Amino acid sequence: MASLTIRKLDDAIRDELRLRAARNGRSVEDEVRVILREAAHHPPPTAATPPAAFQPEAADRRPRAAHGLPRVTLIIGGGIAAYKALDLIRRLKERQIHVRCVLTRAAQQFVTPLSASALSNERAYTDLFDPSSEFDAGHIRLGRDCDLIVVAPATADLIAKMAQGHADDLASAILLAANRPILLAPAMNPLMWNNAATRRNVAQLERDGVALIGPNAGEMAEANEAGVGRMAEPTEIAIAAEEFLRPPQPRPLAGKRVLITAGPTHEPIDPVRYIANRSSGKQGFAIAAAAQAAGADVILVSGPVDLDDPAGVAVKHVESARDMLRQVEASLPVDIAIFAAAVADWRVVNEGEQKLKKTSAGMPPLQLVENPDILATISKLGDGRPPLVIGFAAETEHLIDNARAKLARKGCDWIVANDVSPATGVMGGDRNTVHLLTRDAGEINVDSWPVMSKEQVATELVARIADSLMAKPGEKTS
Ligand code: C5P
C-alpha cells in the first residue's frame, strides 16, 4: 500500500489542499481520501473530458478555450424540486458541460452543498461574502465566467427578486450582475404560478430577455394538488441548456424552399374503413427537421402519422393520395422536393357513402383504380419543376435494379433506395440502410451508406443536397 506525505507535496498543491479541506470542514488527510475516492470512482479522463478538478479554483481561472467545455452556473433555488437539480447536474455533465453550483439558503434545506459539489466535481457556492474566495466582488463573477446561467428550481421568490433587481444574497447578486444568457426552470405550486404577482414578474423577465423552460403540468408535492407548476424534467432542462450552448450551426439551405411528403396515405373504403400501409413517417419527418435546421423554409405534407409536427416546419396534414397531390401542387414553387411518403398505389373507386354491411351475398367487391403518382407528376412538370426532385424506393427485393428503373420511370433526379423487407425493421423502426442513386454525366452513381438512425440519414441527405447546391449554384442539381 503506497503512502503519501502531505508535507512533501508541492507548495501550491499543499496550499490548495488546505484551502479545500477547510472549506469542506475536513482534515487535510480526509480531503485527500475524498479526492482519491472520487478519482477511483470516476472514469479516466479522455481528450474530450478534461481531468476532474483536483484544484477547482485553478481550473476556474482557466480561460474557456483552455478549459474546453461549455460552462453552466447552476443556481439551485429553495423548493422541493431542488432534489431534481442534483440529477440535472448529472444530465449536464453527461453532455460534456462543466457545472458550478450556487445554492440559496432555502435550497440548503433540501439539498446540501456537499452533494452538489460531489456531483459537479467542483466547489459549490453559498455565500455572498466569503473571505476565502478568489473571486472578486463576492463571486458575482460566477454570472460571467460561464456561458449560461441555469436557475433550477426557479422559485416564485427568486423570480420576484430577479424581476425587481434585488441582490441581497449570492444567487440574486449573480443574476443581477450576469452578462450571460439566463434560463429559468420555474417550480412552484400552481396557485403561486397563476398568481397575478408571479404573472407580472414572469412577463417582466421575458421582456428582459430571460428564457424559461416549463413549468409542466402534473401532480404537486402537496397532497391532492395538481396543475401547472412542476419543474421541467432534468433531461428537458439539459437539452434546453445544450441548445443555448451549441455554437451557431451552419445554415447551408438558408433561403431555399423545401417540400417533403411523408407517412402513409389512407384510401377510404367507406366512412369508417380505409386501405393503408405500415409507413410511420419517421424518415420524412426527420428530413423535414434536418432541412429546417439547415435553414430551409420547409413545407411538410404528411399523411396520417403518430408523430409531433417538427418545430419551425409548416405542416399540411392530409389523408389520401389525391389530397396529398393537391397540397403538393399548392406548395409549388420550391427549390427542392423530396417525396418520402409511402403513397397508396390504388384507391377504391366504389367508395361506400355508408358503412358497408355484411350481406348473405358475401363481401362486396372492391374495385381499385390507380392513384396519381405524385413524384412522377412533379418530376415531369415543364414550368415550375423543382430544380432538384428526390424520390424514395422502398423495395423488398432487387433493391438497386428496381431503384435504377424507378429513377428513369419517374423522371426524378435522385432516388433514396431502402430495403423494407420485414426482417430489416425499417418500416416503423428508427434505423435505416439506404443507397443514394444520383445521375452523374449520364451515368447513375450508387452510393451505399452504412446503417444509421433515420435522423442521421436525414442529416446526411441534407448535407448532400447542400453540397450539390454549392457545386452548381443556381443550376439544376442532377
Ligand atoms: O412507385 P413507388 O411507390 O415504389 O415509388 C416510390 C416513390 O414514389 C416515393 O418517392 C413515393 O413518395 C413516390 N410516390 C408518389 N406517388 C405515388 C406513389 C409513389 O409520390 N402515387
Give pLDDT tens digits for 40-65.
655 443 333 333 322 333 333 333 43
Task: Let me know whether 270 and 171 are in one domain.
Answer: no
Q: Is 70 in the pocket of ligand 1 (CB under 6 A)?
A: no
Q: Taking residues 360-373, what's their average pLDDT?
A: 89
Asked which of 181, 213, 245 is the last residue of a domain, the reply is: 245
DSSP state string for 196-225: HHHHHHHHHHHHTT-EE--PEEEE-SSTT-
Q: What is the reported pLDDT for 249?
A: 75
Q: Taking residues 80-92, what's their average pLDDT?
A: 97
Distance 342 CA to ligand 1 centre (A): 6
Whether pLDDT at 6 is above 80: no
* Beta pairing, strands 267-268 & 297-302: unpaired
Q: Which of 336-345, 354-363, 399-408 has the least mean pLDDT? A: 354-363
Distance 462 CA to ligand 1 centre (A): 20
Task: Let me know whether 269 and 151 are in one domain.
Answer: no
Asked whether residue 215 is assigned to any structural domain, the reply reads: yes
pLDDT band per the 50, 70, 90 thresholds, residue 478: very low
pLDDT band per the 50, 70, 90 thresholds, residue 132: low
Task: Let me know whether 337 and 437 are in one domain.
Answer: yes
Task: Let me know whether 207 and 335 are in one domain.
Answer: no
Task: Let me know whether 298 and 208 are in one domain.
Answer: no
Measured in residues, the chain has a length of 478
> Would you name the residues annotated as active-site residues?
277
Domain that holds residue 119: 22-29+67-245
Which among 322, 392, 413, 461 is the best mutation to test ligand 1's pocket, defined by most ligand atoms within 8 Å of the CB? 392
Q: Is 328 in the pocket of ligand 1 (CB under 6 A)?
A: no
Instruction: Phi first, then psi: give them for residue 94, nearest 5 degrees.
Output: -70, -15
Distance 345 CA to ligand 1 centre (A): 8
CB–CB of 308/293 below 8 Å?
Answer: no
In total, how many domains does the chain have?
2
Q: Is 466 in the pocket of ligand 1 (CB under 6 A)?
A: no
Whether pLDDT at 305 is above 70: yes
Distance 392 CA to ligand 1 centre (A): 7
**Which DSSP letter does residue 109 get?**
G
Q: Taking residues 196-213, what's their average pLDDT?
A: 97
DSSP state string for 113-139: HHHHHHHHTS--B--S--TT--SSTTT
Q: Is 341 in the pocket of ligand 1 (CB under 6 A)?
A: yes
Distance 301 CA to ligand 1 centre (A): 14
- Pick the closest to residue 103 from 76, 143, 138, 140 (CA basis): 76
Q: Is 375 in the pocket of ligand 1 (CB under 6 A)?
A: yes
Q: Taking residues 328-332, what's their average pLDDT?
A: 98
pLDDT band per the 50, 70, 90 thresholds, residue 33: confident
Task: Let me know whether 420 and 271 are in one domain.
Answer: yes
Asked whether residue 282 is assigned to any structural domain, the reply reads: yes
| Rounded CA separation 49/70 (Å) | 12
Whether pLDDT at 206 is above 90: yes
Which among 278, 338, 373, 399 is the best mutation to test ligand 1's pocket, defined by most ligand atoms within 8 Å of the CB? 373
Residue nearest to atom 17 of ligand 1 (CA): 373
User: Could you tell me the CA-to-CA distances from 130 to 25, 133, 178, 220 in Å, in that order?
Assistant: 15, 6, 19, 36
Asked which of 221, 245, 269 is the last residue of a domain, the reply is: 245
| Rounded CA separation 153/101 (Å) | 12
Q: What is the reported pLDDT for 47?
A: 34
Q: Is 412 in the pocket of ligand 1 (CB under 6 A)?
A: no
Q: What is the reported pLDDT for 139?
A: 66
CB–CB of 69/96 below 8 Å?
Answer: yes
Instruction: Phi first, then psi: give them for residue 60, nearest 5 degrees.
Output: -60, -35
Helix axes 82-94, 234-245, angle to 10 degrees: 50
Distance 373 CA to ligand 1 centre (A): 6
SS (H, E, C) 91-103: HHHHCCCEEEEEE
Longest dimension (CA), the chain: 100
3-state secondary structure of 472: coil
Task: Let me know whether 228 and 316 are in one domain.
Answer: no
Give pLDDT tens digits for 389-432.
999 998 888 999 999 999 999 999 999 999 887 777 777 788 88
Q: Is 110 in the pocket of ligand 1 (CB under 6 A)?
A: no
- Pick the closest to residue 246 from 313, 158, 307, 181 (CA basis): 181
Task: Let me know whether 216 and 261 are in one domain.
Answer: no
Asked whether residue 377 is assigned to any structural domain, the reply reads: yes
Give pLDDT tens digits for 432-452.
889 999 998 889 999 999 989
Residue nearest to atom 4 of ligand 1 (CA): 393
CATH number of the domain that residue 82 is part of: 3.40.50.1950
HSE of 308 in the Cβ direction (CA atoms, 13 Å)?
Answer: 4
Give pLDDT tens digits for 153-187.
999 999 999 999 999 999 999 999 999 999 999 99
Q: Is 215 in the pocket of ligand 1 (CB under 6 A)?
A: no
| Rounded CA separation 220/217 (Å) | 9
Task: Let me know whether 316 and 444 are in one domain.
Answer: yes
| Rounded CA separation 402/133 (Å) | 70
Task: Let me know whether 186 and 277 are in one domain.
Answer: no
CB–CB of 102/74 below 8 Å?
Answer: yes
Q: What is the reported pLDDT for 297?
A: 97
Q: What is the reported pLDDT for 2?
A: 57
CATH number of the domain that residue 432 is part of: 3.40.50.10300
